[in-house]
Amino acid sequence: MNEPRSNSQYWHWDGPDEGFIDCFVPLIDLNESLGPTAIQPGTHRMTSRVGDYKNERGEFAPLLNKGDILLFDY
């Protein structure tokens, strides 16, 4: 969790185990100034936990509305 005006987090996995799904449900509408959660496709298959990993398909940060649901591989 990031508090207001905190620094950006480094790229990370949510955990080492397989077979789990993250469920993200914002309680407010998101916008760029809030620093929405960014995702890099394919990182759930990484074999190394390098913090500055970059995927050739690029990152994306969906601007979800309150009550939307984002599911992604843990």
pLDDT higher than threshold 80 for residue 71: yes
Q: Is the dihedral of CA 50, 51, 55, 60 positive or negative?
A: positive
- Residue 43 identity (one-letter amino acid): T
The better pLDDT of the pair 4, 50 is held by 4
CA angle 33, 37, 40 (to 5 degrees): 125
Share of the chain above pLDDT 90, in %: 20
Please give the structure tokens belonging to residue 25.
């449900």
Report yes or no: 43 and 56 within 8 Å, Cβ to Cβ: no
Q: Residue 54 has what pLDDT? A: 55
pLDDT tens-digit readout, 23-47 = 989 999 998 888 788 887 776 666 6
The better pLDDT of the pair 1, 6 is held by 6
Please give the structure tokens belonging to residue 68.
């939307």
